[in-house]
Amino acid sequence: MPSYSNPDLIASEVRDLLQRRLGRVVPKARVVLTRVRPGVLAFVRAGENVIYLNEIPYRSFSGDVSQYLFVVILHEYLHLVGVADEREVRRITLDVIEETFGEDSTAYRLAQNLADPRDIYLRESWKQFGRPNTYM
């Protein structure tokens, strides 16, 4: 678990984690601070390996900044490796954060706040009843 607040170091750690989980090479990404409208924590642009981190919420975050950065950078890195669906990215982020930091962490609470409420409901029901059998 990271305990530093350098966005590039967090991005490197997220990249390593994704490479292990995906079993393939993940491109290196730079983190660039920018200022955009409120409500946007970060974003990526197609064809670039740059994560644009909104400086305003980053600088004003009052909790564990390293966990904040980990959640936001992981989310954007998932877009960079090709997961386009926002709901799927938020679900994967929540799963990875739970495994990495645990349910009692700042990171988990942040990822949970960003996730779709339906996915939170499903996760809670799985704890009680187990994961359903699904077939494609």
Side-chain-side CA neighbours of 118 within 13 Å: the count stands at 2
Where residue 109 falls among pLDDT bands split at 50, 70, 90? very high
**Cα 88 from Cα 108, distance rounded (Å):** 16
CATH number of 7-129: 3.30.2010.10
> Residue holding tokens 């984690």?
17
Tokens representing residue 120 in the block: 């939170």
Residue 18's pLDDT band (cuts 50, 70, 90): very high
Contacts of 81 (CB under 8 A, 6+ apart): 18, 22, 26, 27
Is residue 5 exposed (0-12), middle (13-18) or buried (19+ Cβ within 10 Å)?
middle
The pLDDT of residue 5 is: 77
Residue 74: predicted pLDDT: 98
Residues 4 and 64: their CA atoms lie apart, in Å, by 9
pLDDT higher than 80, residue 1: no
Identity (one letter) of the amino acid at 64? D
Q: Which two tokens stand for residue 125?
A: 């029901």
Distance CA 74, CA 100 (A): 12
Model's pTM, two decimal places?
A: 0.89
pLDDT of residue 130: 76
The whole-chain average pLDDT of the chain stands at 91
